Amino acid sequence: MKKFLLFTLKTLIFTIVIAVALDFIYTAIYLQSSNRGKVDHVYNSKKENFDVVILGSSRANNHFVAQMFEDKGLKTFNYGMSGGHLFEADLLLKLMLERHYKIKNVILEADLNLSNKRRDYGISSKFLPYLHQSETVKKHFSNEDDFLEMYYIPFYRYIKFDERIGFREFYNTTLKKSTNVLNHQGYYPLINRKGNMKNNIVNLKPLLHNQYYEEIKQICKDNNINFIAVMTPMCENTKGIEYFNKVQKLYPEIHNYENVVVEDKYFSSCGHLNDTGARLFTARILKDFFSK
Amino acid sequence: MFFNSLAFAIFLPIVFFLYWFVFNKTKSSQNALLIVASYYFYSCWDWRFLFLLVFSTFLDYYTGIRIEKSTNDKGRKFWFWLSIIINLGFLGIFKYYNFFSTSFAQMLTTVGFKASPILLDVVLPVGISFYTFHGLSYVIDIYFKRIKAEYNFVDYSLFVSYFPLLVAGPIERATHLLPEVKVKRTFDFNQAKEGVCQIIWGLVKKVVIADTCATYANAIFDNYSSMNSLSLILGGIYFAFQIYGDFSGYSDMALGMSKLFGLELLRNFNYPYFSRDIAEFWRRWHISLSSWFRDYLYIPLGGSKGSKAMQVRNVFIIFVVSGFWHGANWTYLAWGFLNAVYFLPLLLLNRNRSNIDEIKLNWNWDSVRTISSIVMTFCLSTIAWVFFRAKTITDACTYLKRIVVNREFTSQYLVNERYNYEILLMIGLFVLVEWNNRTRVEPISGKYNTVKLALAITAIIAFGTYSDYKEFIYFQF
């Protein structure tokens, strides 16, 4: 039995050593990456100056045509992330400021994402390789339920989110394969119709004080950044469209642009404008906020 | 509580510690601990079905004794049939009632009557097909006087409820497992070490091979109408490795952890994808179920004795019933039927036992023929797996038809944001490892054990699929 316990101990030690070694290798590779996505792009960037930074979910990513801002002479990047919540938008902004970005305006898409203050498991995992390197990332995740295991168990975060930061992503990062996420200054145009032109958001309720929304607002205030929060368009056939009025009541400073583009021909799916729709919408934003 | 879950990683060492350090005095205390652990393990799935398990155990225990004690044939028959009817009755109600009810209503609708099926809102108790078959084989063996009835209820309960095999087999025989649980187990280092290696290899099969293949197979099968020929072929191959890695991985873990408790279970898989014909495939795939059907259905029906027509009938019965055992769906029946069709030429040409020797390859034409036979058998079984995996027979036929008519053999980007060919290298490596170790139970033990153990652990940690978690396929049966 003693022999077996020693064998088991040896196996356990093996497992721990392998996990520590893998954790070290994966983290080292991710620390070198800057062309796979918006998170590593920001994390591994140096000081940048922007006239406009766009934050939010896919409803920011697919709706704000950064090039149209650039055409007006405004240095812009669309940091909207498909699937992202305000948790990730807030952290991304914090990382930018940690890297001494100079930002004049932040446009935040704040509408459907106000209904929760959870993190998006997929998008937020992109920050996890930096958990031990960045105090900002560590602090931001510190109140999460799974923080302790992610922080202290070697390689656990890469296992838990293997779909996003596991072997496949590690392999592509090692080969320095770039993605199309950073093309068009971060804007991702939707061309074809992909989804149904109907949506049901009856069960969504905007939270009274969304912690991450408030944090973004406060960060902008503290850093003299002009904060523009907007609601972006939904298709006409949306059940529970009064959600946007509720947002307006709770957060009067958020500009309601939900109905500035309405026709189905401008949508790729009910919650996402196609490229033509996005151009119409961006033109309106430029006119209202950047016409001077 | 899955074998590859954190909860089980805590549960198993606790049971192991108690088994060898606290309850190690007598075989009764060892068995009692394993029974409590098994009932706890089972109740983690759904405690309500624990009553069904205990009832089923008691029924077969009691009827077994009554069969043995009956002095006349009438009494023996009564208790025998009582056990068979109740066991199959439970299986029928929980597993097949809704299927028959729906199919009957559909049949009536087809012939012009309006009928809506009366369905039962029941969940299939996990492992029912496995523990029912344990009990059935026990009662049948007593009835035919192959074994004596077991009078110790704890020992018998352990035979039925032993947790490593409770929910997905292997389907043990009383002749094999009962004698093992009737003696006190002593700790054997080599056996336990082999057990750990087998558990780790089972984990490699499950989390590295099966779950990764599942991600791709699901993306292809769920969207088969937009897939090209190459993707559809690869989808079939991925599913073949998914189901093999999933089920044989589970069996390896069950066998491995049994070794930790000093018990040897029946081997359930013997590298089935290296079979040279379908008959050999079925001697290597889910061996405990195949041999169960052979001994308790095929042979009583006459087996390979009698006229060719009788033999053909028996083959079709055994394969179709085997398919139906897997689940109440026409696709499983079609899968069983197709395997019977594959088997037919071998039976008619008396070649169903021509490949029973060990596979040896040399630089000669015989080896080329052997490799071709292995590839051909794999292709045939993969075609059958399409029926097993598809939701309906129509889906399976359309899937196979599309392989032929589409004729595009290019790489394709799947809905899971991966290319269709990405895991071929991994599968190739897995096949190579299995091929080089085909004469052994698992590849980790033996020479260079430490290096192989480290590689296997690295594979589990680095290449496993965890975020897209998948249950063991055979739990649903």
**Helix, strand, or coil (residue B173):** coil
Kindly state whether residue A20 falls inside one of the protein's structural domains: no
CA dihedral B55, B61, B65, B66 (to 10 degrees): 20
Parallel, antiparallel, or unpaired for β A238-239 and A49-55?
Answer: unpaired
Q: B393 vs B217, B278, B389, B390, CA distance in Å?
A: 18, 22, 10, 7
Handedness of CA B404, B406, B411, B412 (dihedral sign): negative
Burial code (b: 16+ CB inside 10 Å, e: under 16) for A216-252 equals bbebbeeeebebbbbbbbbbeebeebebbeebbeebe
Q: How far is A158 from chain B (nearest CA, A)?
A: 8
Token digits for B451?
A: 């290096």
Segment holding A93, helix H or strand E: helix A86-98
Gap between the Cα atoms of B455 and B452, Å rounded: 5
- Cβ contact (<8 Å) for A18 and B466? no
DSSP conformational letter for A58: H
Instruction: Suggest the residue from A24, A123, A150, A163 to mutate for an interface test with chain B (most B CBs closer than 10 A).
Output: A163
∠ Cα A103 A105 A108 (to 5°): 115
In a domain, A127, yes or no: yes
Give the integer Cα–Cα distance in Å for A103 and A96: 9
Q: Cβ separation of A159 and B466 shorter than 8 Å?
A: yes
Q: Position of tokens 């020479």?
A: B447
B326 as an active site residue: the answer is yes
- Number of C-alpha atoms within 13 angstroms, CB side, residue B460? 22
Report the CATH number that the domain containing residue A57 is assigned in CATH. 3.40.50.1110
Strand ranges (E), B341-440: none
d(CA B413, CA B419): 5
**Chain A residue closest in CA terms to B188:** A1
pLDDT score, position B204: 96
Catalytic residue among B134, B176, B286, B326: B326
The answer to whether position A123 is within a domain reads yes
DSSP letter for B295, please: I
Q: Which residues constitute the domain of residue A237?
A: 45-145+181-289
Bond from prior residue into A233 cis (ω within 30 degrees of 0)? no
Task: Using a CB–CB cutoff of 8 Å, tell me whether A22 touches chain B.
Answer: yes
Decide if A167 and B461 are in contact by the 8 Å CB cutoff: no
DSSP-assigned letter for residue B212: H
Report the length, in residues, of chain B.
477
Compare CB distances from B453 to A3, A11, A163 and report the shortest one's residue.
Answer: A11
Average pLDDT over residues B432-445: 93
pLDDT, position B469 = 63
Residue A13 lies in a domain: no
Mean pLDDT of B22-33: 94
The answer to whether B261 and B196 have CB atoms below 8 angstroms apart is: no
Question: How do A272-273 and A267-269 pair as beta strands?
Answer: antiparallel
pLDDT of residue B470: 67
Q: For the sheet containing A49-55, what is the strand order?
A: A76-78, A49-55, A102-109, A226-231, A255-256
Residue A40 in this model has a pLDDT that exceeds 90: yes
pLDDT at B474: 66
Which chain B residue lies closest to A161 (C-alpha atoms)? Answer: B467
Mean pLDDT of A93-120: 93
Closest CA–CA distance from residue A37 to any residue of chain B (Å)? 15
Query: pLDDT for A123-178, tens place per residue?
Result: 999 999 999 999 999 999 999 999 999 999 999 999 999 989 999 999 999 999 98
Look at residue A117 and tell me if it is in a domain.
yes
What tokens appear for B177 in the block?
């497992």
Which residues does chain A have within 8 Å of residue B200's beta carbon, measured at their own beta carbons? 11
User: Is A163 in Cβ contact with B468 (below 8 Å)?
Assistant: yes
The packing angle between helices B365-389 and B330-348, to 10°, is 150
On whether any CB of chain B is under 8 Å from the CB of A182, the answer is no
Q: Which of A2, A12, A18 to mutate to test the interface with B (most CBs of B within 10 A)?
A: A18
Predicted pLDDT at B477? 62
Question: Cβ of A164 under 8 Å from any chain B Cβ?
Answer: yes
Write the residue in A14, A160, A167 that is nearest to B454 by C-beta: A14
Distance, CA of A89 to CA of A126 (rounded, Å): 12
Q: For chain B, give me the number of helices (H) and strands (E)?
A: 20, 0
Query: How far are the Cα atoms of A111, B66, B68 from residue B150, in angstroms, in the given order?
Result: 69, 11, 10
Q: Is residue A206 domain-resident?
A: yes
Q: Is residue A216 part of a domain?
A: yes
8 Å CB contact of A22 and B458: yes
Q: Kindly give, in sequence order, each residue whose CB lies less than 8 Å from that of residue B121, ignoring residues fewer than 6 positions away.
A: none
Domain count, chain A: 1
- Tell me which residue of B198, B277, B240, B275 sits closest to B441, measured CA to CA: B198
Q: Is residue A6 exposed (0-12), middle (13-18) or buried (19+ Cβ within 10 Å)?
A: exposed
B471/chain A closest Cα distance in angstroms? 16
In-domain check, residue A228 = yes
Q: Which of A2, A6, A11 to mutate to test the interface with B (most CBs of B within 10 A)?
A: A11
Per-residue pLDDT band at A292 (split at 50, 70, 90): low
d(CA B38, CA B12) in angstroms, rounded, equals 11
Cα→Cα distances B466→A158, B1, B210, B229, B235, Å: 10, 15, 11, 29, 20
pLDDT band at residue B363 using 50, 70 and 90 as cut-offs: confident
User: What is the pLDDT averaged over residues A219-230?
Assistant: 95
ipTM: 0.82
pLDDT of the residue at B416: 84
pLDDT at A246: 92
Strand partners, A269: A272
Residue A8, min C-alpha distance to chain B (Å): 8
Note whether A133 and A225 are within 8 A (CB).
Answer: no
Q: pLDDT for B372-410, tens place per residue?
A: 999 999 999 999 999 999 999 999 999 999 999 999 999
User: Chain B residue with minimal CA distance to A163?
Assistant: B467
Contact indicator for A140, A94 with CB cutoff of 8 Å: yes
Say yes or no to pLDDT of A193 above 70.
Answer: no
User: How far is B10 from chain A, CA to nearest CA, in Å?
Assistant: 14
- Confidence band, pLDDT 50/70/90 cuts, at residue B289: very high
Report pLDDT digits (tens) over B113-163. 877 777 777 777 888 888 999 999 999 999 999 999 999 999 999 999 999
Residue B110 binned pLDDT confidence (cut-offs 50, 70, 90): confident
CA-based angle A163:A167:A171, to the nearest 5?
120
Label residue B264 by pLDDT band (50, 70, 90): very high
> Which two tokens mark A49?
């100056």
